[in-house]
């Protein structure tokens, strides 16, 4: 009887282990900010305190430059509206913009960085929505998005001085197998001193986007989460 019970427990343990491994390989990435928060990203400074933003805020204030974001949420560093639930509780309304230390409207005032978790390059290209200011990396006050490998910037992009985001693309075929991070940078308080960013993907040679759970599974294989809290944060 004890041998039968031991065998059953062993089978149950193997089954549970397989479930955990499946959860690990199903890990995704908050590539479009549709979590409504900055899960999978780490911020510095104050520029991202009210990010991601919800809805087409430029249109809400009659800017004439629709955000052209994907889904509900996106990074709009001039914006200060966090949706009908959280935003309403904070007294925010559609079209609200960032403020300076005195509480006056100052869309370009805050500065900071936002860095993603690490991931592998498995595709031929990366595509994303990009807008905001044209203040390139290497200038005195950059506002851009960088792809970083071993602390080196290997790709960079800026907006074209419009709130409207457009689909942009990097060729990353030479980086296949490398571990990288995305860094959104806002280091300017001057005119057009903010980037807009949303909906980043890797794509294969035919231009088809690769699901992020497949990309993140490259990192997850053979690794076990050490706590349920970590699993809740990173897996869905």
DSSP 33-99: -TTSS-TTEEEEESTTTT-SEES-HHHHTT-S-----SSSEEEETTB---IIIIIHHTT--TT-B-B
Name the pairing type of β-strands 112-116 and 179-186.
Answer: antiparallel
Which structural domains are found in the chain, ordered by start? 1-28+223-236 (no CATH), 32-210 (2.60.120)
CA dihedral defined by 118, 121, 126, 128, rounded to 10 degrees?
A: -20
Query: Which pLDDT belongs to residue 230?
Result: 34
pLDDT, tens digit only, all 236 positions of the chain: 566 555 555 555 544 444 444 444 457 999 999 999 999 999 999 999 999 999 999 999 999 999 999 999 999 999 999 999 999 999 999 999 999 999 999 999 999 999 999 999 999 999 999 999 999 999 999 999 999 999 999 999 999 999 999 999 999 999 999 999 999 999 999 999 999 999 999 999 999 999 999 999 876 443 433 333 333 333 33
Nearest to 45 by CA among 189, 190, 158, 147: 189
- Global pTM reads 0.83
């Amino acid at each position: 009887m004890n041998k039968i019970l031991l065998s059953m427990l062993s089978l149950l343990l193997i089954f549970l282990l397989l479930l955990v491994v499946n959860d690990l390989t199903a890990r995704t990435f908050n590539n479009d900010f549709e979590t409504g928060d900055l899960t999978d990203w780490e911020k510095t400074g104050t520029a991202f305190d009210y990010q991601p933003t919800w809805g087409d805020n430029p249109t809400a204030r009659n800017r004439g430059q629709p955000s052209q974001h994907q889904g509900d949420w996106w990074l709009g560093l001039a914006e200060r509206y966090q949706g009908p639930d959280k935003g309403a509780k904070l007294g925010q309304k559609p079209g609200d913009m960032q403020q300076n230390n005195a509480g006056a409207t100052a869309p370009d005032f805050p500065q900071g960085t936002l860095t993603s978790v690490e991931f592998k390059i498995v595709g031929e290209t990366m595509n994303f929505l990009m807008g905001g200011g044209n203040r390139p990396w290497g200038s005195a006050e950059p506002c851009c998005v960088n792809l970083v490998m071993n602390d080196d910037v290997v790709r960079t992009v800026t907006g074209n001085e419009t709130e409207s985001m457009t689909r942009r693309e990097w060729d990353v075929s030479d980086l296949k197998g490398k571990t990288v991070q995305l860094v959104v940078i806002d280091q300017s308080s001057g005119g057009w001193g903010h980037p807009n960013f949303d909906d980043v993907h890797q794509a294969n040679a035919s231009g088809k986007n690769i699901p992020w759970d497949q990309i993140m599974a490259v990192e997850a294989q053979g690794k076990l989460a050490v706590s349920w809290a970590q699993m809740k944060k990173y897996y869905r």
